[in-house]
A and B are shown apart, each in its own frame.
Chain A
């Protein structure tokens, strides 16, 4: 934010932006120590994340199908061309994006509502919170199976209730809707928890002041609460978007990717583990990695989401 205001004499001036000064001797020693102290952790990080990433990239540049191990050779970006010009990949990509966007939007709305309820309840607060968190506590695969049974034609109670005549999980649009439903059901509590932490950041006095200033409940929510908790909302959205983009278990259980409901993770799994095509599979996982990194980058740079842990926007 650029400020052209001249502060009045005597008023405390906002601190100058850090100047690139020559680093003093002591400072330098301190920095060196800091690096040394971080080194062990950094090494572990490199070993457990850097190495697999590098190895994936290396694999993605080769023709490497375990069924035909003799044909292994370095082929540069050929795999990328294969994948990016493939209809299945793009279908999976759009399905994943659709699921991500829709489920995150719904989760945000419902999560906010749930957070407000949990924040406001005065009686049996602990009980309400515990109950709300149950879906998040259930193993996804288990929950996905119960959704699958519920939606199976003839035997499932939800299928019976909603559309007894058709097998919803075998049609594309309804199947996607059910996947989104399962995803939303599972993660709304998590969203609500993150948002509740944000709600706690909104001082009670601020809301009182807003009502005195003439704001209705809705205006208090939109004009005071949301802007003040914006950092928390962005962090919650970032977490959820990254998570949702890697959706796997719900789809695996509910449709196994049939009727073109595969996500990018699904299709990667099919190629890598089922198809044993290490080259193509690795290419896909590298592409997922790039997409996720891009999402994070957009959130942090464009929306100004404070990276979790850094504390310079959240503070007032």
Chain B
């Protein structure tokens, strides 16, 4: 158990690449913290610096108040789970899990007891005498976890531990990782690429981009109050819709139509000194089929009408896709997000909108539908630096 503090930690690789810059992060004792961000944003580098596998270029890393920058990994008492699992191929499962204990010169009886205990927790008991090459991906993953938990370290570091598993197994393992961490109460830093893991696993999430920390907060907070366009687009699946918008007196004109700003947003904007051209963001669940709403419900929002491009029924709700006329919102952040998602929606001209409607919606593919949206839930971003004008902490 330990508190881990990163104090203005930066990493510059010998080739000059600045992988991580000025990360300030205090990880509380027993906390489960998630590092997310697009590929190459410096998540692994940050984790490796905590582990001691990479030198820290500048700044200070403290574990339980003690500076550990210069300490070798073996003296930090931290366990790590790798994406590749990194199991020792020449050892059995039991020997793999016992390895850290043997190195620590723990006596045989304790080793046996601890390995058996870990194997029981991870449901590996009947595989203890097998070799890693004879195990399935999920079993290997559990052995890697087991090797980390047997020694009762101060902290766990996990670098995309589940990304080599297939989707179903990943969901299962996600739950068991969460359970085990809760049970052991060990400080955990977890790197992931995966939206769902980020949202469901951690106490707090750190969103990184290009070596810089964008925002730190609970998953819910990041979802509701993204500090900038990047976080808004990165967190949430399907992701937030972005359209270009113009602020005129206290109303907005956008491809979704013209509508007045709510009082809450107007106040926030006044403080923020916003330009006239902005990017408006709205999450899919803040739309609804207008035919399902009565007048009182409709009063808190605005409506637009358009043809449904595609309708996906998920059972519990329906996703309706629209293409609105007008330019697409453009900004560096949005381009980066699109690149990371690997989805370049360049095919369509106009603005793509994804809405989540109730299952009872009668909207049909190829037919026009009238869609209501909650105008108090909109986010307004600076197109140049991505700042969220509607952010209020």
Contact = CB atoms under 8 A, between A and B. Distances in A.
A201 to B, nearest CB: 10
Contacts of B52: 211
A8 B136 CA distance: 12
A316 interface: yes
B103 A215 contact: yes
Interface residues of A, number: 29
B173 to A, nearest CB: 15
B130 A5 contact: yes
Contacts of B126: 5-8
Question: Chain A: interface secondary structure?
Answer: loop
A252 to B, nearest CB: 42
Interface in A197-242: 203, 205-206, 208-216, 219, 223-224, 227-228, 230
Interface in A1-52: 1, 3-8, 11-12, 14
Interface string A101-135: 00000000000000000000000000000000000
Contact of B86 (A14, A203, A215, A223): A203
Given A5-B130, A213-B147, A208 B74 contact: no
A205 B84 contact: yes
A4 B90 CA distance: 19
B104 A212 contact: no
Contacts of A6: 126
Nearest to A213: B100
Interface string A53-90: 00000000000000000000000000000000000000
Contacts of A209: 80, 82, 86, 88, 147
B133 interface: yes
Contacts of A228: 88-90
A230 B90 contact: yes
Contacts of A223: 99
13 contacts: A3-B129, A5-B130, A7-B126, A11-B139, A203-B86, A208-B53, A212-B53, A212-B80, A212-B157, A214-B104, A228-B89, A316-B132, A316-B133
Interface of B: 51-53, 72-74, 78-80, 82, 84, 86, 88-90, 99-100, 103-104, 126-134, 136, 139, 147, 151, 157
Given A208-B51, A227-B88, A228-B90, 6 more contacts: A208-B86, A211-B74, A212-B157, A213-B99, A216-B74, A223-B99
Nearest first, the 10 closest Cβ-Cβ pairs linking A and B are A209-B86, A213-B100, A205-B86, A227-B90, A214-B74, A214-B103, A212-B80, A316-B89, A211-B73, A205-B84
